[in-house]
Structure 1
């Protein structure tokens, strides 16, 4: 008991650390879910010391050998910092799983219900449905002042809003009874409520699917980033082999703002764009690949997208000027490559595909490699938070300028040849 008291006293001194770590994790997760178009309420808490004492004492009494060190207790109690994700639509659990995997290093994963634990009461319904994660925040999502919170283990609970509500009631009644053990009648009522919750989850999933079907059938406009995200997820799940490309949705909120600015919020506007994107397995998210297709080769759309993005706070005015200079050379080069790709493939539209260029005699291996490297830099400048150094950007700007001049000459010569051939055919006719 002295060891448990020592643990509680130590925890009280560190309580603000665990509370801050939980709040930071919840903020990161809330922003990512909102950007991905997932409706959810995200909350956090640090374990209450009085409840923690009860939990540690209960765990200690069940062990074959009592706790011997503080480290043993810390290893056994994983939820000192807790984050709860309450989903409006339970069908979004898979999407949330992908986002958590991007933001956190997963230490342990549990999926409920656990069939290995037989209930004390003969239940008719399956109980608590949720995903639990024990994880640490990845270093790359933390700034220097936040790095200290990377060591904190966070327990993340993901379930529907109505499932969380039922779980709270059940947990408080069964594990914290104020007036003795629950009766058979009370357990039966809890079981009945669980059945209603599970039926409610099914209804919510059907409601979400019906909303997608309404958009498709009426060719309607997307009313929010959430409608857009739900439609994209279902469209891509049915049209792509998900084992070939991971559905990392990315910042759907930014995509939706771009579509609004360009007045492309209708289903009839987005569907041709989606069908023309050759979704690739690379660093770009789904939203970034769609955005690339929309703005490719168009100066005004590039400018519009740059205005909607938040500029990197650390970028100097000189670096931002270098970025603009690169884009001034890249965009017309990209437009020319798009036009060239369409010569070979009539089905090609929007952003060029590098494999299409490889099949053309116009490009040798060195030019292809140069285009690939320039496009990689373009992706970093457009989508990443941190920018390369100014010298690298300026060097690539000169390469893009030279390549544009070379390809423009070749393209003009090719066009002249085609026009001469057409005139010759006309004269013969």
Structure 2
């Protein structure tokens, strides 16, 4: 008992740490869900000391060997910092799962219901449907001043809004009874409410499906990144096998802003673009590959895209100058390569394909290798994949100019 009391007093001193860790994880997750076009309410909390004390005493009593030291208790308490994701649509659990796996270091994942557990009451309905994750914040996603929060274990609970509401009621009544154990009648009513919640989830899934059907209409206008995300998920699911493409959607909010600035408001505006994209399994996510198709070889669109991203630009003036020099040389070369690729199909305009240009004898092995390396640098820069090296950028900018002159001479001489 003294050890548990010491643990609680120690935890009270660290309470702000866990509260801030949960808040940081929640903010990262909320931003990522919004950017990916997934509707959800995200909240966080640090474990209430009073509830933690009750839980610790209870778990200690159930153990074969009581806690020996404070480290054992901390290791056993995995939810000192918690994040709750309440999804509008239960069908988005898989999308949220992929996003969490990308954003955090996942130590453990649990799916509910757990069929191995035998209920104390003869329930008619299946109970709690959710995914639980025990994670660490990834060091690459935080600032140096936030590094201390990497050590915090955080529990993320993902379920529908309805399921979270029901589970909160059930958990407080069954596992934290203030006036004794519940009667069979009370358990029966909770079971009945669970049935209503599961029915509500079915209705939410139907509502989501109805919205997806509406968005298929070519004249439908995208009013938000959520409409756009729904359309893209459906389009990709219908046109590609799961093993052929990884549905890492990326920043759909940024893609939506770009489409809006270019006045691509309707399904019919974006469909031809999607048909031109050769979706590939590489370091770029879906939204990045679509953006690449939209801006390729078009200096004005490059500028619009860079302007939309400028609020996130924290690079120094020398780096910005090098990046601008690189793109000043790259865009004309990209435009030239796009036009060369489309020679045999004048009505088609899409991003160049190096293998196609090699088959057309426009590129030899040396040129194709150089352009491939330069395009990888372009992708790194445009999508913030890595921090650029200023000297290398300037050197590659000069190389792009040489490649352009050589290729332009060759094409005009034919």
In the TM superposition, residue 180 of structure 1 has moved relative to its aligned partner by 1.5
Taking a change above 3 Å as real, the CA distance of residues 336 and 267 of structure 1, as seen in their structure-2 partners, is: same
Q: Which moved more, 1:306-315 or 1:366-375?
A: 306-315
Q: What does residue 197 of structure 2 align with?
A: 197
Q: What does residue 298 of structure 1 align with?
A: 298
Q: Deviations over 1:283-316 (max 9, x none)?
A: 1110010000000000000000010013555412
Q: Which moved more, 1:341-350 or 1:59-68?
A: 341-350
> Which has the greater radius of gyration?
1
Mapped to 1, the partners of 2:246 and 2:28 lie a distance apart of 21
Q: What does residue 168 of structure 1 align with?
A: 168
SS at structure 2 position matched to 1:131: strand
Mapped to 1, the partners of 2:263 and 2:82 lie a distance apart of 41
Q: Which moved more, 1:390-399 or 1:336-345?
A: 336-345
Q: Deviations over 1:327-358 (max 9, x none)?
A: 11111111111111223567963112233234
Structure 1 runs (4+) deviating above 4 angstroms are 344-348
Q: 1:16 and 2:4 equivalent?
A: no
Q: Is the 8 A contact 2:218 2:266 kept in 1?
A: no
Q: Deviations over 1:156-201 (max 9, x none)?
A: 0000001000000101111112222111111111111111111111
Q: Deviations over 1:357-380 (max 9, x none)?
A: 343322122211111111111112
Q: 1:90 and 2:97 equivalent?
A: no
Mapped to 2, the partners of 1:326 and 1:79 lie a distance apart of 48
Mapped to 2, the partners of 1:347 and 1:89 lie a distance apart of 41
Mapped to 2, the partners of 1:79 and 1:63 lie a distance apart of 18
Taking a change above 3 Å as real, the CA distance of residues 178 and 237 of structure 1, as seen in their structure-2 partners, is: same
In the TM superposition, residue 385 of structure 1 has moved relative to its aligned partner by 6.5
Q: Is the 8 A contact 2:30 2:42 kept in 1?
A: yes
SS at structure 2 position matched to 1:217: coil
Q: Deviations over 1:39-72 (max 9, x none)?
A: 1110000001110011111111111111112221
Q: Which moved more, 1:349-358 or 1:396-405?
A: 349-358
Taking a change above 3 Å as real, the CA distance of residues 100 and 85 of structure 1, as seen in their structure-2 partners, is: same
In the TM superposition, residue 116 of structure 1 has moved relative to its aligned partner by 0.5
User: CA RMSD for the aligned pairs?
Assistant: 1.4
SS at structure 1 position matched to 2:66: coil
Mapped to 2, the partners of 1:113 and 1:67 lie a distance apart of 29
Q: Which moved more, 1:299-308 or 1:356-365?
A: 356-365
SS at structure 2 position matched to 1:310: helix
Taking a change above 3 Å as real, the CA distance of residues 109 and 347 of structure 1, as seen in their structure-2 partners, is: farther
SS at structure 2 position matched to 1:86: strand
- 1:266-345 pair list within 5 angstroms: 266-310=266-310, 313-343=313-343
Q: What does residue 136 of structure 2 align with?
A: 136
- 1:39-118 pair list within 5 angstroms: 39-118=39-118
Q: Is the 8 A contact 2:113 2:126 kept in 1?
A: yes
Q: Is the 8 A contact 1:344 1:356 kept in 2?
A: no
Q: Is the 8 A contact 1:8 1:53 kept in 2?
A: yes
SS at structure 2 position matched to 1:363: coil
Mapped to 2, the partners of 1:109 and 1:129 lie a distance apart of 14
Mapped to 2, the partners of 1:371 and 1:304 lie a distance apart of 24
Q: What does residue 427 of structure 1 align with?
A: none
Q: Which moved more, 1:106-115 or 1:198-207?
A: 198-207
> How many pairs are equivalent?
414
SS at structure 2 position matched to 1:205: helix
Mapped to 2, the partners of 1:52 and 1:161 lie a distance apart of 25
Mapped to 1, the partners of 2:45 and 2:347 lie a distance apart of 53
Q: Could you state the TM-score of these two structures normalised by the residue count of structure 1? A: 0.94
Q: Is the 8 A contact 1:312 1:385 kept in 2?
A: no
Q: What does residue 373 of structure 1 align with?
A: 373
Q: Deviations over 1:233-275 (max 9, x none)?
A: 1111121122232111100000000000000020001111111
In the TM superposition, residue 113 of structure 1 has moved relative to its aligned partner by 0.3
Mapped to 1, the partners of 2:169 and 2:95 lie a distance apart of 27
Q: Is the 8 A contact 2:217 2:267 kept in 1?
A: no
Q: Is the 8 A contact 1:315 1:387 kept in 2?
A: no
Q: What does residue 410 of structure 2 align with?
A: 410
